[in-house]
Every structure is written in structure tokens, then in C-alpha cells.
């Protein structure tokens, strides 16, 4: 699987208010190798909010998206396989 995490995705890249630690990036992309009979794969990522002095917009929600696709679908000529499940999950806290 190819996992693509976007933090504060509704903002321009340079205006994003949430970043990953370490590295200070607002996105994370990684191929996750799953194998039959193996335990579930789990990843923990730490994110932090920039200092309030660094941005003006303190009221709009911070949108986070996680896109999971089959890595084989990225190769030319590969079958167009689909993952079944929710296409949009949104929560506001």
C-alpha cells in the first residue's frame, strides 16, 4: 500500500499550521508492505502546531487527509485495482 498523509491540507504549503516531528514537513508518504499471516502494520507520527505568532488564521479547522492506494496501481500497465472502504472520513474536534 502507498500511504499519503497531508496535514492542514486546505492551506498553501508554506502557510500550513501543523508540521510533523522531526523534519518540519506537512506531509508524509510511505509505501507499506503487507504480507499474509503477518501482524497488522502500525505507524506512529508526531505532529505539532506552529507557534501562534507564526500564523494569523486561528479559527479555521485544520484538515487532515490520509490517502491509501495500492502501490501496484502506480506502475504503468498495472491493473486498476481498488480498495474498498470509506472514501471520506471527517471529524472535527
pLDDT digits (tens, 9 = 90+) for 8-36: 888 888 889 999 998 889 999 998 887 88
pLDDT of residue 78: 59
Averaged pLDDT for residues 35-41: 85
What is the 3 state secondary structure string of the chain? CEEEEEECCCCCHHHCCEEEECCCCCEEEEECCCCCCCCCCCCCCEEEECCHHHCCCCCCCCCEEEEEECHHHHCCCCCCCCCCCCCCCCCCC
How high does pLDDT run on average in the chain? 80
Q: Where are the domains of the chain?
A: 2-33+44-89
Q: Label residue 66 by pLDDT band (50, 70, 90).
A: confident
pLDDT of residue 36: 83
Superfamily of domain 2-33+44-89: Integrin domains. Chain A, domain 2 (2.60.40.1460)
pLDDT of residue 27: 93
Amino acid at each position: 500500500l502507498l500511504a499519503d498523509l497531508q496535514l492542514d491540507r486546505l492551506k498553501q504549503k508554506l502557510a500550513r499550521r501543523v508540521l510533523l516531528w522531526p523534519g518540519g514537513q506537512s506531509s508524509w508518504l510511505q509505501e507499506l508492505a503487507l504480507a499474509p499471516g503477518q501482524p497488522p502494520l502500525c505507524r506512529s507520527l508526531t505532529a505539532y502546531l506552529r507557534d501562534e505568532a507564526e500564523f494569523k488564521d486561528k479559527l479555521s479547522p485544520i484538515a487532515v487527509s490520509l490517502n491509501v492506494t495500492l502501490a501496484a496501481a502506480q506502475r504503468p500497465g498495472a491493473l486498476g485495482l481498488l480498495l474498498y472502504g470509506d472514501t471520506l472520513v471527517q471529524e472535527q474536534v
